[in-house]
């Protein structure tokens, strides 16, 4: 397939034709024609011979691809490389070690198949990501609103510094009369309404003061008229779930303009996207217990409670030899609880005195 000549090329197709005509039609020598256009005689001879054989059509660029490539990678090896890339997400070095192929060869195959970057591969299917587009202009347009803070007269604080930025903001607020909370100067917000064609990168944008339904309808009406002036008939419009695009006025305006309206589906909750459950807490995943809350009122009882907790626990009894009489006794934890209760009520009894 012919390639377009770059801007810095020494000879364009028109200049090649002039050289060839000087040699063929006017009888110039290759050296004279090459000297006039500051190229080599070999280049002048090449274009002259091609002009004799093909005429003006032979001045166009040709593909630099060779007619035969005997050392090209075999198709079965290409399929094996692509299979390992898709299924296991391996790099050129790992694939080359498995198949016994140089890593440079594997990389060349991946580039040729457009799967050399994992970011351009679908995680589920493993196929290259392809940008969808509608067949013709006007088949679908996208509308959206973006918010930008206005810049005060003379520049903001990021450019002039905080002190000068505050003075510029105050001067702009006096000129516009906009005030915020507690009479602070307010610069305001600019709402950029954009209308982009899905088939081509052509876009229509307006800067407005709000994002209400009436403003959005006015932007859509003017955008449709602008596209119509350029020979594009708008058929469908796609928007998000903003309040302006969910209103009845927007629906009626689309019906009057003969445009089908469609909204994007709302994204699921972050813990339900791609069928993934909520990951556990990192501490809980590592087997750590959450921190206990400390009661400030119990600080004065800390020495007494520490003495109870540090007392020697009773020997653990064997459950297989537990009798009915031993089952009626309170466990050690229950005794400790009663001891704590006695301490709180003012009874400082030693654990060994209680039976």
pLDDT at residue number 275 = 43
pLDDT at residue number 292 = 44
pLDDT at residue number 189 = 84
Question: Are the beta carbons of 249 and 217 closer than 8 angstroms?
Answer: yes
pLDDT at residue number 151 = 81
Find the length of the chain.
355
Measured distance CA(227)–CA(339) in Å, rounded: 86
The single-letter DSSP state of residue 280 is P
Measured distance CA(139)–CA(239) in Å, rounded: 14
Measured distance CA(235)–CA(23) in Å, rounded: 56
pLDDT at residue number 267 = 57
pLDDT at residue number 48 = 94
Measured distance CA(206)–CA(188) in Å, rounded: 16
For 263, residues 6+ apart whose C-beta sits below 8 A from its C-beta are 238, 239, 240, 241, 245, 246
Residue 263 pairs in a beta bridge with 239
Q: Extract the residue ranges of the chain whose pLDDT is less than 70.
A: 1-8, 123-131, 180-184, 266-355
Q: Which of 28-37's residues contact partners 24+ apart within 8 Å by CB, and which partners? A: 37/11
Question: Are the beta carbons of 261 and 237 closer than 8 angstroms?
Answer: yes
For 204, residues 6+ apart whose C-beta sits below 8 A from its C-beta are 194, 195, 196, 222, 223, 226, 227
β-strands 189-197, 141-149 pairing: antiparallel
pTM for this structure? 0.44
Measured distance CA(151)–CA(165) in Å, rounded: 10
DSSP 19-37: HHHHHHTS---HHHHHHHT
Question: Are the beta carbons of 236 and 137 closer than 8 angstroms?
Answer: no
* Structure tokens belonging to residue 80: 């094996």
Domain boundaries, the chain: 13-59, 75-120
Measured distance CA(207)–CA(193) in Å, rounded: 6
Measured distance CA(141)–CA(227) in Å, rounded: 10
* Structure tokens belonging to residue 45: 């001879």
Measured distance CA(268)–CA(274) in Å, rounded: 9
DSSP 163-176: HHHHHHHHHHHHHH
The single-letter DSSP state of residue 188 is -
Question: To which H or E segment does residue 236 belong?
Answer: strand 236-239
Measured distance CA(269)–CA(266) in Å, rounded: 9
Question: Are the beta carbons of 142 and 224 closer than 8 angstroms?
Answer: no
pLDDT at residue number 114 = 80
At residue 190, the 3 state secondary structure works out as strand
pLDDT at residue number 126 = 64
Residue 141 pairs in a beta bridge with 197, 237
Question: The dihedral of CA 47, 49, 51, 54: what is its sign?
Answer: negative
For 212, residues 6+ apart whose C-beta sits below 8 A from its C-beta are 244
Residue 309 pairs in a beta bridge with none
> Is the backbone of residue 97 left (phi > 0), alpha (psi -120 to 50) or beta?
alpha
């Amino acid at each position: 397939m012919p390639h377009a000549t770059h801007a810095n090329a020494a000879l364009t197709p028109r200049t090649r034709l002039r050289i060839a005509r000087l040699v063929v039609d006017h009888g110039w020598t290759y050296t004279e024609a090459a000297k006039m256009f500051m190229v080599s005689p070999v280049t002048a001879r090449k274009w002259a011979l091609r002009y004799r054989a093909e005429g003006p059509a032979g001045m166009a660029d040709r593909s630099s691809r060779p007619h035969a490539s005997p050392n090209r990678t075999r198709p079965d090896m290409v399929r094996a490389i692509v299979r390992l890339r898709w299924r296991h997400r391996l790099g050129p070095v790992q694939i080359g070690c498995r198949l016994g192929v140089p890593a440079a060869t594997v990389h060349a195959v991946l580039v040729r198949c457009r799967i050399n970057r994992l970011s351009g591969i679908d995680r589920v299917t493993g196929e290259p990501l392809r940008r969808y587009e509608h067949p013709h202009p006007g088949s679908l347009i996208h509308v959206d609103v973006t918010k930008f803070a206005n810049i005060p007269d003379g520049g903001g604080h990021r450019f002039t510094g905080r002190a000068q930025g505050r003075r510029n903001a105050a001067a702009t607020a006096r000129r516009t009369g906009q005030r915020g909370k507690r009479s602070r100067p307010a610069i305001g917000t600019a709402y950029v309404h954009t209308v982009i064609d899905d088939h081509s990168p052509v876009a229509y944008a307006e800067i407005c003061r709000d994002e209400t339904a009436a403003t959005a309808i006015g932007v859509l009406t003017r955008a449709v008229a602008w596209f119509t002036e350029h020979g594009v008939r708008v058929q469908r419009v796609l928007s998000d779930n903003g309040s302006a695009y969910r209103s009845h006025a927007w629906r009626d305006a689309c019906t009057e303009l003969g445009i089908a309206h469609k909204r994007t589906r709302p994204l699921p909750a972050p813990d339900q996207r791609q069928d993934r459950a909520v990951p556990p807490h990192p501490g809980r995943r590592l087997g750590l217990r959450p921190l206990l809350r400390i009661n400030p009122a119990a600080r004065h009882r800390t020495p007494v409670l520490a003495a109870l907790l540090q007392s020697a626990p009773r020997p653990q009894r064997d459950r297989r030899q537990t009798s009915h009489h031993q089952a009626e006794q309170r466990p050690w934890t229950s005794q400790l609880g009663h001891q704590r209760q006695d301490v709180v009520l003012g009874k400082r009894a030693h654990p060994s005195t209680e039976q």
